[in-house]
Structure formats: C-alpha cells, structure tokens
Structure 1
Amino acid sequence: MPNSSAQTAATFLPENYLSGMFYGNGWSSGDDLVAAVEPATGARLGTIALANADTVAIAAKSARKAQREWAANSPDDRAAVFLRALSVGEQYREDIIDWLVRESGSARGKAAFELKVTLKAIQLAAAMPHQAQGLVLPTSPGRINLARRRPIGVVGIIAPFNFPLYLAMRAVAPALAVGNAVILKPDPRTAICGGLVIARLFELAGLPSGVLHVLPGGSEAGEALCSDPEIGMIQFTGSTGAGRMVGQNASRHLKKVSLELGGKNSIIVLDDADIDLALRNVAWGVFLHQGQICMSAGRVLVHEAIAEDFVKALAQKAQALPMGDPTDETIAIGPLINQRQADHVVKVVRETVDAGATLATGGTSDGLFYAPTVLSGVTPDMSAFREEIFGPVAVVTTFANDAEAVKLANQTEYGLSAAILSRNVSRALALGEQLQTGLLHINDQTVNDEVVNPFGGVGASGNGSAIGGPANWEEFTEWQWVTIKGEAPAYPF
C-alpha cells in the first residue's frame, strides 16, 4: 500500500483481497490483471483481476444454484443479512470513505454523502422481505385469484465509475432482498470502491456463498452477462452509447433490461430567482464531483435580464473552489477519472470557444485536474450545448421568456433531470410540466437522489424504467398469476 491512508483502509479490505475478484465461493485471482490506480497521484492501490466470458459463465451457474436456496430462506433470515451489512458499513465508515476518495477521486464530502445513501439503500432493502409481495384480484365465486411477485433468478448489474459504490448498491441490495442472486460487474477504474467493498460488506454480513459475485471486467464480460442463459435481467448504469449496445445485446436474448443512462440536464434560473441561492445551486449542480455525474447541470439557462451579473458572480464562485488531491479535506474539485475523460473536456471547451462562446473563467488543465470553467454566450449549435461533457464546466445560455426556456431545455435527445429556480412556485411548476424529463426539481438543482424515490430517465437517458423506492419491486421481480379452486371444473369438452 502506498501510504498511511491506504493502510487504514486495509483494516476493512486486507491486502490479499486486493488482487482479484469475489467469485464462486470466495476471493479469487485471475490471469488478466490490471493495476488499480489513484487518479490524483498515480499511486498503485492494488491489483484487479478482469473477468472474461468463461468466468461469467461459471459465476452464472453458481449463482443460479445458490439463488434457489437464497429465495427459499425465510424473510427474517434474508432481512437479517442486510441489517448486519448495515452494521458493517457503519463500523468501517471511514475506511470505505477513504477508498472512495482515493480510487474514484471524490472529495471527502461527496464520498461521505455517497456512503450515506449507500447505507440507506441497504436499510431500505432490509425491509423488502417483509413487504407485501402481490395482490388479491377480483374473480368469480369459488376461486381465489392472486398476482404475486417472484424473483427473476440471476440479475446482472453493470455499474459506472462516477458514484461507484451507490450506483452499484442501489441495484445490488434490492435485487438480493427480493430473492435474486447477483453478478456485479463494476467499472475496472473503480473496481475496489464500487465492487470489492460491496463483496466484503456482504461477506462480513453472512450472505450465503454464491449468491453474490463481483467480477470487474471490460466489454467481453459485459457481453457475456448479456448473453448468458442463466442470467434473466441486466441493470445497466452508464453512458448512452454503451447502454444502447447493452440494451441491444440483452434484448436479443430476451432478458429484462433496465437502462439508466446519460443526461444533458438543464437548470433554469428565472428572472425572479433569489440570485445568491441560484448561484449556490448552480455551482453545486455543475461542479460537484468535477461534473462527473449523470445528473450534473450540463446547461445553465439564465434569463437575459440577469445573465450578465449572474455569469460574473458564477465565475467568481468557480475561481474560489479549491482544486487538488481530494485526500485533503479542504479540496472541492478533485481529478477527472482518467486522461481520456480529461481530453474530452478539453476538446469540447476548445470547440465551443472557437465557435464564439466566451470563456469567463477556467479552461485550463494540469494532467487530470481541470479548472472549474464557466462558458457564456453558448448557443444551441455549439458542442458544449449539445454534448454531455462530464467535466466541471458551466455552460450558460440565455433566454428571453419562459417559452424559450422550455424550448432550449427540451432541445436534446436526453431526458434525465431538470431544475427550475424561481420565487414563484406556480410559474416554475407550469414551466416544469412542459419539460421532457424523468426527474424534476423546483427550487433545487439537478443532482438529487433520496433512495426512496423512483429514479430513471426518458429518451437517450434511459428506457423508461426506474430504480429505487417503490420501483424496486417492479424492477427486480416478475409477476406470476395464480388461481386456486376447491376442485377442477367440469368443462364441456
């Protein structure tokens, strides 16, 4: 381990665990090994074994066998596993936060929040085994007519790098709670904090062997999950481009598919908004975790009457955000996840400035560190208006009236999150009703998830499915219709 911070984390994940995957009946290594790297420093954190198609096939058979016994457990026994996992997570809180900071480049505040919602997802999953699992339907006299929820079997979960722990756990926990087995494929860039941490939590909580497999991997492992006959469902969170391929591959094999994809989200600042609060909301929605969030405010739509002063104040706020190694608790802006992402941010900003936008502040980089940036005068034909940047860039476009704000916000194939800031709630609601988006926030910013809520987007942001809260039963189970009669009827044939 490269430093004392990593040594602390080793109390939760012993060093010999940082050399493989959670596979079969425990921790295993593999032939295709890659280094887990801290983006802020380049330090090596461990070694990850990448799964291939053969690994996935073996895991899927093991998971299918273990799932039958897991689903047959009493609700009390299944719920107890999650309560123990919650306790383990609380016990090793600082260790887990440390892994999120070091491997994903999260500022410590963001990492602490991510763990908080992750533990909440576990807590809510603990209640699911004791919840109602079906309906009694109307029918003719002498017959009982039921519709009941049953586990799908084995659920494949493909999770991203940006909120690696939570975006994996929000699917893993409810899928397990309703009686499924799970194969989790975390992004290789965050395979420890988004994968091995979850495996270790449930191992310490006493989850039966074979019910959960954690297999870091690339496209080969993802394609194998989509085609394996033992896997009944794929839940994918990630980019729209990758999601389209996952949806196509999984649907070809008649699997249930849940896609939570990218976004080009608008935060609309009306002319009657409280300016100080609007600036705070915009800065949070744009710059949190370096803008590497599917819900980040990719467009800041500002009424033209207040735009000039607003841009100046936003630029000052961006300049004041401290940037650096996120192990320093005073840091607000950490590194981007890798050089490819950093190059993408540089490219989009350069193209947009060349097309006539004004660089109010930022636009500079040092390795993976990209300075908080404000672009003004951005028009719909510019790259920054159209593309998901996934970087700390505020893209400011002005509008003259509410109708134009709606038109600009809807001028995208995405439909994930939107926010409207105004002192007039009725006006904001009327505007919001016209937005094509799965999530809508009045007098808040776009980055919101309370775990209890259905979460999902429309258009290029998802296939209309939702995950979280009441949507979890719909997501991770399938209906079975059951009728019961005292004796079989005498049909006329």
Structure 2
Amino acid sequence: MISYETLGKQFIGGKWRQGQSSRLLKNINPYNEEILTEITAATVDDIDEAYASALEAKREWDKVNAYNKRDILEKAVDYIKEHEEKITEIIVEELGGTRLKAAFEISLVKNMIKEAATFPLRMEGKILPSTEDSKENRLYRIPGGVVGVISPFNFPFFLSVKSVAPALGAGNGVVLKPHEDSPVTGGTLVAKIFEEAGIPNGLLNVVITDIDEIGDAFVEHPIPRIISFTGSTAVGSHIGQLAVKNFKKPLLELGGNSAFIIMKDADLDYAVQAAVFSRFTHQGQICMSSNRILVQKPIYDEFIEKYAEKVSSLKTGDPKDPNTIIGPVINTRQAENLKMAVEKGIEAGAVPVVRGAITGRMVEPTVLADVTPDMLAAQEELFGPVVCVIPFETEEEAISIANNSKFGLSGAVHTANLEKGVEMAKKIHTGMIHVNDITINDEPIVAFGGEKQSGLGRLNGEWSLEEFTTLQWVSVNYEQRQFPY
C-alpha cells in the first residue's frame, strides 16, 4: 500500500522501521506547510547496516538468472502503472509539483526502468588474443559492487530511479539517501516499488537522514565502490573529492546555467513558447532550465514584449489545481535566495519587465531584461522562476556569452538555418544542447551529463551500464608456459 504512514520509515535490510536517531525529520507540504509524515532519522549505524545488507543481498542477486532479473525490473513498471494516480498525488503534495510535472516525471521513470530491465541481458564480455602462445584473454563485465545514491529534491522520483534502476539492472546492491525535503518521492516510494517487484530483501536500502546526523559517513563508508550524486555543484565538489580520496568512482550530475539562444531568423512565437517552458517548468527547479535567454538585437524588443506577456499569463498557486503552472519552491531558503538574486540583479542595472511577488514559498515569475553577462544573476544558477534576458549582436558574441559560465549542462539554439544551429551548438562547451527545442531533455538511451562544473560522467543507456559495472581480466593458459629462469 502506498501511503505516508507506510512509507514514512527507513527501509533497511528488507524491513520497514524507524531510524535509531533521536532526531525527528518533518516531511512538509511546501504549498500549505501541512506535515505529511514524521520520520526518525537514520544514524551512522543504520547506514552501516544498510550497506552491509546491500552487499549480502548482492550475492543472492548474482545467482538470479538474467532473464528473471529482467522480469523483476519490468514488474516495477507494472506496479507504477497500477498506482499512477497515488504517485501523482504524492508528487503534488510532497514536492509542490503540478499534475503536469507529475505526469512528465512518472513517464521518465517508467522509460528509465524499461531501459534498465535490458541490462541483465547486456552484461557482455570479450575474448581477446594474447601475445603468448596457447593463452586466451577473457574480459568479463561484472557489477561494480554496491552503489551509494544521493538524490535531490526537484525531480526526486526520476533522479533516484535514474541511478537506482540501472545499478540494480547491472547487478549491484544499492543504498539510496534521498534529500530530506523529498524522503518519500525520492526514497521510500522507490523502495516500495522494487520491493513489490520482487528484488531480494536488502538489495535496495533507503536511509533518510541529514548531514548534521551522519556527516560524511554515507560517502566514506568502505563498502560502496560507486557514489552517484545529483545536486548542487558545491556539494558535488565535496562528495567527488571524498569519493576519490576513498578510491570510489564518483558520478556527479550537478548544477547548470543553460543558455537559450534565439537568432533573428528564428520562428519567434515558437521560440517564446519553448523559452517559457524551458524556464518555468516545475517553478524553474530543474538543472537543465534556461537561466539565460540570449536574443539577437533585431528581434530583442519584440521578444521581450511577447515573452513578458506569456510569462504574465502563467497561473501561480495550488499545485493540485490542474490550471496551475507554477507552484511553490521546495523551501523558504530557496525563496530567499531567489529574492536576493532578483534584488541584486536590479541593483546592477537589470530591468524587471515582469516582477513577481515572493510570499513564503510562493515565488511568482520574474523576468530580468537588459542583463549583462557579468552580472551575478547571469553567472549563478537561479533555481526558481526567475530568468535573465541578454541581448547580443552577432553569432560569435552569442557563443562567447553562452560559454561565459562555470557550468556546462544544457542549452538550446533557435534558428531557421538548422545546420547553422548545429555548428553553433558544437562550439558551446556543454554536455547537451538542442536545436529548435527546449533545454529540458532527458531520454533513456542518450548520454546525459555535463561539462565543467556541471558534473562528471554520463548516464542513460550504454553509458549507465558502463558506469555501474567494471571489467575483470581472466586469462587462461592452455599449456605450460616457458620461463627464462
């Protein structure tokens, strides 16, 4: 059964129980601040038990036939389909996501699990020739071992499953630590789905806690060989350094400052629609959201007029209302950060052509025009419904402005000349970029990841299979080898 009562617990060693801490974590609806559930936090001892359980259960998982593993993972998709309405309600209540956002996220999750279900049948090795006579070199693709997954609060259902499902499909045990603001959607809901699908007890564990309780224990624990983190660049840098220090592989999906470039020959009405969707979907709380809209000067004034009109029409309010486009941001800290960014932008000379009110966690859209590339608002990730619009003269200037960022996650180029758009895209230092499309794209078989301070590694499809496995060289000598002494 899916409910806050059943999912408001730790899931360790195949058992639903409370953590051993004296700390109580409150799971709050960001729209009305209703307490959805209270969870006793996990301790360092709980983390130790979770990792030990994952390691032990992996030995059982190793013995399961690859086709049976595939069938188990596919059952997870069936379970989601059966409970889609309840999952939608949880996304709306726990995250402040709209029903549109919930449908988008659930679709991504189902496709990701379907792809991961193919992994057990793709654990392929190689036989290679040897420099020695009568010798054979075999390369076996084997699971990495145990994977520690740390997920964020914005798309927690998908961004947890994005690592958990491929890691399980590749034969690993997993311990998942969701963000404390999304413990159910990003944690125990995922555990329930795979438990019902039939994975071995203890193979997937969920620990709900915060850094004040556990410090760096989740990353530094000796059992996990891979740490997959999705979140801010500052925290990701710390986790990456800890992982490498302890000889673990870090997979880092971090922040972004995506540039949405509109050339003067673009279909302006279409570009306006795409730019609005690229910024304001889920209140702009997406790492791929377009923080910076770059518009060529001949169409700049017309764009500002149309864009401001479209943005002003977006309904802000209760995410349960099917007409709502913009719900609350996840917490008051995020709201305060956005308020500060807007004020500093205006002080620096940006013009607020749309200035939304900020009341508690409700942040109405703000559009800052005439932004210059060096302004703080254009340099930092704005994780909310605030956007910068920057004019440019030439194609070269647009590329230069787009690259003037420590981030390199996503982007978009809009132009009537598709091949020119592709050539521009190739000159922008980003892991992903889309011609005549939105900046928010994620597909289960296409490499996903960033450059610069937007992360390390690539996920999805064959890249996830590569990241969550390792290669073992086993050589076979069919005759006795001759030695020089």
TM-score relative to the length of structure 2: 0.97
Q: Quote the residue 1:139 is aligned against.
A: 130
RMSD (Å) for aligned C-alpha atoms: 1.3
Secondary structure, in 3 states, of the residue corresponding to 2:321? coil
Is 2:427 the partner of 1:438?
A: no
Residue 66 of structure 1 aligns with an amino acid whose one-letter code is A
Q: Quote the residue 2:222 is aligned against.
A: 229
Residue 470 of structure 1 aligns with an amino acid whose one-letter code is E
Cα distance per residue 1:12-41 (max 9 Å; x no partner): 424542432111231011232211111011
Secondary structure, in 3 states, of the residue corresponding to 2:242? helix
265, 273, 281: which one pairs with 2:266?
273
Instruction: Judge conservation of contact 1:71–1:178 (CA < 8 Å) in 2.
Output: no
Q: Quote the residue 1:214 is aligned against.
A: 206
Q: Quote the residue 1:162 is aligned against.
A: 154
Instruction: Judge conservation of contact 1:48–1:188 (CA < 8 Å) in 2.
Output: no
155, 159, 172: which one pairs with 2:164?
172
11, 21, 28: which one pairs with 2:10?
21
Residue 176 of structure 2 aligns with an amino acid whose one-letter code is L
Secondary structure, in 3 states, of the residue corresponding to 1:293? coil
Residue 130 of structure 1 aligns with an amino acid whose one-letter code is L
Is 2:476 the partner of 1:487?
A: no
Is 2:370 the partner of 1:377?
A: yes
Cα distance per residue 1:394-450 (max 9 Å; x no partner): 210011000000000000111110110011011111111110000011111111001
Q: Quote the residue 2:43 is aligned against.
A: 52
Q: CA deviation at 1:101?
A: 1.0
Matches within 5 A, 1:37-436: 37-140=28-131, 142-219=134-211, 220-221=213-214, 223-436=216-429
Q: Aligned partners of 1:194, 1:288: CA distance in 2, in Å?
A: 19
Instruction: Judge conservation of contact 1:18–1:47 (CA < 8 Å) in 2.
Output: no
TM-score relative to the length of structure 1: 0.95
Q: CA deviation at 1:60?
A: 1.1
Instruction: Judge conservation of contact 2:120–2:170 (CA < 8 Å) in 1.
Output: yes
Residue 343 of structure 1 aligns with an amino acid whose one-letter code is E
Q: Aligned partners of 1:263, 1:390: CA distance in 2, in Å?
A: 9
Structure 1 segments unaligned to the other structure (5+ residues): 1-11
Q: Quote the residue 1:7 is aligned against.
A: none
Cα distance per residue 1:266-285 (max 9 Å; x no partner): 01000100001100110000
Q: Aligned partners of 2:5, 2:358: CA distance in 1, in Å?
A: 36
Instruction: Judge conservation of contact 1:304–1:398 (CA < 8 Å) in 2.
Output: yes
Q: Aligned partners of 1:221, 1:280: CA distance in 2, in Å?
A: 44
Secondary structure, in 3 states, of the residue corresponding to 2:117? helix
Q: Aligned partners of 1:17, 1:266: CA distance in 2, in Å?
A: 42
Q: Aligned partners of 1:367, 1:257: CA distance in 2, in Å?
A: 36
Q: CA deviation at 1:68?
A: 1.5
Q: Aligned partners of 2:480, 2:361: CA distance in 1, in Å?
A: 70
Residue 134 of structure 1 aligns with an amino acid whose one-letter code is G
Instruction: Judge conservation of contact 1:279–1:313 (CA < 8 Å) in 2.
Output: yes
Q: CA deviation at 1:83?
A: 1.3
Q: CA deviation at 1:216?
A: 1.5
Q: Aligned partners of 2:317, 2:404: CA distance in 1, in Å?
A: 35
Q: Aligned partners of 2:89, 2:216: CA distance in 1, in Å?
A: 32
Instruction: Judge conservation of contact 2:8–2:188 (CA < 8 Å) in 1.
Output: no
Q: Aligned partners of 2:310, 2:246: CA distance in 1, in Å?
A: 50
Q: CA deviation at 1:381?
A: 2.5
Q: How many residues align?
A: 481
Secondary structure, in 3 states, of the residue corresponding to 2:91? helix
Bigger CA drift: 165-174 or 74-83? 74-83
Q: Aligned partners of 1:198, 1:331: CA distance in 2, in Å?
A: 27
Cα distance per residue 1:333-385 (max 9 Å; x no partner): 00000000000000001100111110001232122111111110001221211
Secondary structure, in 3 states, of the residue corresponding to 1:445? coil
Q: CA deviation at 1:265?
A: 0.6
Structure 2 segments unaligned to the other structure (5+ residues): none
Residue 400 of structure 2 aligns with an amino acid whose one-letter code is K
Q: CA deviation at 1:132?
A: 4.3
Instruction: Judge conservation of contact 1:199–1:212 (CA < 8 Å) in 2.
Output: yes
Q: CA deviation at 1:242?
A: 0.4
Instruction: Judge conservation of contact 1:346–1:363 (CA < 8 Å) in 2.
Output: no
Cα distance per residue 1:163-210 (max 9 Å; x no partner): 000000010001011110000000010111111110110111111101
Q: Aligned partners of 2:413, 2:215: CA distance in 1, in Å?
A: 37
Bigger CA drift: 208-217 or 222-231? 222-231
Q: CA deviation at 1:121?
A: 0.9
Cα distance per residue 1:289-343 (max 9 Å; x no partner): 1110000001000001101110111111011001111011111000000000000
Cα 1:488–1:325 change in 2 (3 A) is farther
Residue 109 of structure 2 aligns with an amino acid whose one-letter code is T
Cα 1:247–1:307 change in 2 (3 A) is same
Q: CA deviation at 1:50?
A: 2.0
Is 2:461 the partner of 1:469?
A: yes
Instruction: Judge conservation of contact 1:421–1:444 (CA < 8 Å) in 2.
Output: yes
Q: Aligned partners of 2:390, 2:126: CA distance in 1, in Å?
A: 49
Residue 339 of structure 2 aligns with an amino acid whose one-letter code is V
Cα distance per residue 1:193-233 (max 9 Å; x no partner): 11111011011111110100011222254611211111111
